[in-house]
Structures are given as C-alpha cells and as structure tokens.
Amino acid sequence: MGKESKSFRCWNTNLSVPFDSDISHPTMKRLLEMMQKRGWKIQTDQRILEEYPILADDHFEGRKGDLKFKAEKYPAGFNFEFFQDINVENTNGGYYDFDKFEKMPYLIKLRFLLEKKYMIKLLDDEGYSDGSESTFKYAYEEVMHRIKSCCHYKEGKELPDFEIEEYNAKDKDGKILKNGQVKYFRDRKGRLQRGVIYHNINNMWWTILNKYEFTNIASFYFFDLDTEENRKRKLVKPSGKHNPKSRSVPDENQIEKWKSKAKKSTKQERITKANGILDYLYSLNLTSRNFQFYLKTNGRVGLKETESRAWGIHKKFEEPIELPLYTRTLPMSSTESSWVKGLREYVVHGKPGITQWFCTDHNGEGSTAYKWPEVREKLWKIGALAS
C-alpha cells in the first residue's frame, strides 16, 4: 500500500489515524508498545470498564508523570488525546477542557511535544503521511485560516461590515459586535482581559489575545470599559461557596416532615409548588425556557411551554405550547429535561425526584452560582429534593 493512501492528523493534543482497521489497529498496538518502553503506564480506560464493559477492549488510558492520555480504537482507525490535571477549568478534569495544549504548564507541554515526536516518527517509518492542517506562526494568520476553511464560510465573512445575525452578535450589555473590534472580557478568575474579535460560528468569536495566542469566547462575555464595574481590574462575584446556605443542611427529621407533607398533598398542590420552582429557575436563567405543569381533565399531568429565551430570542406565547411529558426524550435540553423529569416524579407520585448533586454549586463559579443554595432550600421545603 502506498504512502499516500495512509495518513495521520494532529491538532491541539490529538493524534488520529483514520484508516482501515486491518492496517491501523496493528499500528496502534505498536504505538502503545513503544510508549510503554518509553515509561508510560498504560491500562484499559477504567471509567469505560466500569460503565460500559462491552466497549472496554477498545479504550485505553495512560500516564507518564503529569501527562496523561485517553485513546480509542474505531472500526476504521484510532485516536489519542493528551491532557493534564494540573491547570484545569472543568471541574470534571483536564480531559474535558477545551484548548488542552494552551492550558498545559510549560514542562508538560515540552513532554507532550517530545512524545508526539516519537509517535510521528513511528508512523512515518510505517509509511503514513502527515495529513494535518497547516499550522501558522501568528495568531491572526491561524484565525483567518480557520474562518476561511470553515464549511460555513461566506465571502467577506472576516470583514468589519459583514452582517452577522444580531442574536449571535450582542455583548453582555446588548451592544452589537463587529469583526476587528477590540473588546474586553474576564478570565475565569475575574481578571480583565482584551482581544481583537472575529466571528466564528453561532455566538462564538475568535479572540486574538496577542501576537501568538488566540481563544474562542461566547458573545455575552464581551464588554466595553464604559461602566465602573467593567473597568475594574479584577471582579470577583459572589459564588455559591460564599452563600451561608450552602453549608446549612436541615436535620433528617425536618426533611422527613417536608417529604411526608408532600406525599399527603394533592396533585394540584404539588403542581403549584413545582411550577414555582420552574419559574424560579427561569428567572435565574438556569433554564432557557419556562415550562409549566397542569392537570388534564382525565387527571393526568401535562406540560406546556409559556415563554422562551432559547437561542437568544425572547418569545412569550399567547397560547402556551403543548409538550410531551412521558416520552423517553423530551423536546428540550438535557439539563431542562432533568429538571422536568425530576419534578414530574414529585408531582405525579409525591416523592423526591431531584437529586442533591444536580442542584449543588460544584465549583462556586458562574453568574448565578450564588443562587444554587437557594434552589436547594426551596426544593427541600416542598419535599422534592432527595437526600
């Protein structure tokens, strides 16, 4: 088989070989063996082994110092993805972060680049060609390449006067964003940052930070230095961890009393209380659509949508939209579906349907994080929160 017919691709911390399994799977085996000789500790992906054991033979994970990887074997190829858990944003770990390479501390970056070099050498020796996209020295060049190579590209999309849907081009204060503008934003620690912005897709914007670095930021994080709050060098907003109620847990007797009261109440009474929770979640933007339960003439519980801010478009329906409530998949986001299904159990059966982990502020961050303990308290008091 010719060298041109086999290729690998690298991007960020991924290395992928999309090729027939008869050729690529033995190559993956040799890569893993080579990595073990270089000091990697490699095993079956333990999460997959526990949760999806039937898939375990095709999933691997490894570690060398603080550098880690997860690898997956496909019917036609395989993929390695490297990460670290030292400098992370996602509370579930560095594997779930975006921009994994950019987040790597300096020495881990060097180790990753060295290991990738050895992997590429083995692939090259076996006749694979490098099918990776072009890399650029400067951030502006890379951003322009990504814009123009995107399948959604239209002529002139990168220019300042290109018209972008308004709902994808508003900053946090409602001002319209334009390509090439200098806009300000805050990093995850609340520190003031700035960059030159260019529209990517939907409400995401490429943001050039300096000569060599860029990132991808949602439109609603941008602002101008036109208010006292916006001009602050560092802004730390109250988090769930600062709310005293986050450390306040009722005693078991009180919780059981609330549950017992909920069980004895009528279905209509529980509907009223559940709708109060849905209203509260919507007011905090924890859901993008306002749902309401109601009692049908046959005694079954139904669901309607009365208002929506989904996709940045505000709609208030004169005639509420009827929605299915008992299908396996509800017509809404997974987060909204979890709330609705949990409250449905409470309304129909009078038993707690929301688990505590779902209404806990895990990382203490986010504009509404301070309100999570309030949500938890309200659910306890109506008997809808499982201990």
Q: Where among 74, 104, 130 does a domain terminate?
A: 130
Contacts of 291 (CB under 8 A, 6+ apart): 278, 303, 304, 305, 306, 323, 332, 336, 340
- 204-208 and 192-201 as β-strands: parallel, antiparallel, unpaired? antiparallel
pTM of the model: 0.47
Same domain, 177 and 246: no
Q: Which of 291, 271, 252, 255 is nearest to 349 (CA)?
A: 271
How many domains would you assign to the chain?
Answer: 3
CA separation for the pair 359, 374 (Å, rounded): 9
> Is there a single domain that holds both residue 165 and residue 116?
no
Same domain, 254 and 379: yes
40 and 78 together in one domain: yes
Task: Give the range of the structural domain holding residue 210, as residue numbers without chain letter.
Answer: 139-231
Whose tokens are 């949760």? That residue is 51
**Closest by CA position to 199, among listed 150, 249, 164, 149:** 164
Each of the 387 residues of the chain gets a pLDDT tens digit; together they read 444 479 999 989 999 999 999 999 999 999 999 999 999 999 999 999 998 999 999 999 999 999 999 999 999 999 999 999 999 988 889 999 988 998 999 999 999 999 999 999 999 999 999 988 777 889 999 899 889 888 888 899 899 999 999 989 999 999 999 999 999 999 877 899 999 999 999 999 999 999 988 999 999 999 999 999 999 998 866 555 556 666 677 888 888 898 899 999 999 999 999 999 999 989 888 888 999 999 999 999 999 999 998 877 888 898 999 999 998 888 888 888 888 999 999 999 988 887 755 555 444 444 555 667 778 888 888 988 876
Are both 363 and 311 inside the same structural domain? yes
- Specify whether 36 is located in the same domain as 147: no
